[in-house]
Amino acid sequence: MMIAQNVQQWFESSLGQYLIEHEHRYFDQVVANIFGYNAVQIGWPQFDFLRLNRMPLRFSVGSECETSVRAEAGFLPIQTSSMDLVILPHALEFNANPHQILREVHRILIPEGHLVVSGFNPFSLWGVCHHLKSMREEFPWNGDFIALSRLKDWLKLLDFEMAGGRLCCYVPPFKQEKWRRRFAFMEAAGDRWWPISGGVYFLHAIKHTHGMRIIKPDWRNCLDAKRKMVPIARRIIKAAKEKQSSGNSNRIDDLNKS
């Protein structure tokens, strides 16, 4: 209970609000243009990152009380190939088995379904706080930050194709807003001058399923062709026998004359 309370207090802080503002900005832009019937959010259910999506069914899954369906992210009670969109706001770095979560996401997504992931970048000023011993016990620095390149490799192994993404939160994670304002120039120039050092990354991927079409022989046509060949073969054999018998009779007549 104390851990959940500390997490909620962090989100209510100035730095937490700064992060959520950027998260909403990206998710709102991406999910609004993804169409289908079913969408699910796994992680951080207290924030509705599907609010601008127009699918008929939108719900959240997690172990928190705010979720629509309470379940472990690695074992989803969702039918296979039934979801058009899955979003994972920081669900991977705060779970002991992120590979299992991705396998479950791949299972429940339909072919050509969409996955949108957000995560903390370990190679950033935010990642520095993750490596400081004095902050490793605090949220969100207690998570297991996953490098963007590693996440891309995991998704490629599951036959996901990268469709887009970006980085944000280039400003150092100062708790005081006044210090973040002083370094606001880093946010404006981040995408141009140091694009890989954003504190948070977003990744949009699409599930591809390699289909296989079995080529079967057309047995009916083959049998029909064989049936058509039988009379022809019989006529050829009959003609050969008649020719052979006429040849033998001619030889006998020649012998009798001689």
**Dist CA 87 CA 64 (whole Å):** 16
Beta pairing class for 109-120 and 83-89: parallel
How many residues are given for the chain? Answer: 258
**Cβ atoms within 10 Å of 78's Cβ, excluding its own:** 20
User: Radius of gyration of the chain from Cα atoms?
Assistant: 34
- Please report, for residues 38, 144, 233, the alpha-carbon distance to residue 222 in angstroms, rounded to integers and kept in the order given: 47, 62, 16
Mind listing the pLDDT tens digit of every residue in the chain (258 residues)? 335 667 888 999 999 999 999 999 999 999 999 999 999 999 999 999 999 999 999 999 988 888 889 999 999 999 999 999 999 999 999 999 999 999 999 999 999 999 999 999 999 989 888 878 777 788 899 999 999 999 999 999 999 999 999 999 999 898 888 888 888 888 777 777 777 889 999 999 999 987 655 566 665 666 566 566 656 656 777 777 776 666 655 555 555 555
- Residue 2's pLDDT is 39
Residue entry with tokens 């949009």: 204
- What local confidence, expressed as pLDDT, does residue 216 receive? 60
Q: What is the residue type of 144?
A: D
CB 180 within 8 A of CB 171: yes
Q: What is the pLDDT of residue 232?
A: 63
Residue among 140, 29, 11 at smallest CA distance from 66: 11
Q: In what order do the strands lie in the sheet with 160-168?
A: 69-70, 57-62, 38-42, 83-89, 109-120, 200-207, 160-168
pTM for this one?
Answer: 0.78
Q: Are 42 and 62 in contact (CB under 8 A)?
A: yes
Among 3, 51, 7, residue whose Cα is nearest residue 27: 51
Write out the two tokens for 71: 């379940």
Q: What one-character-per-residue DSSP string does 158-171 give?
A: TTEEEEEEEEE--S
SS3 199: coil
- Closest residue by Cα to residue 208 from 115, 116, 111: 111
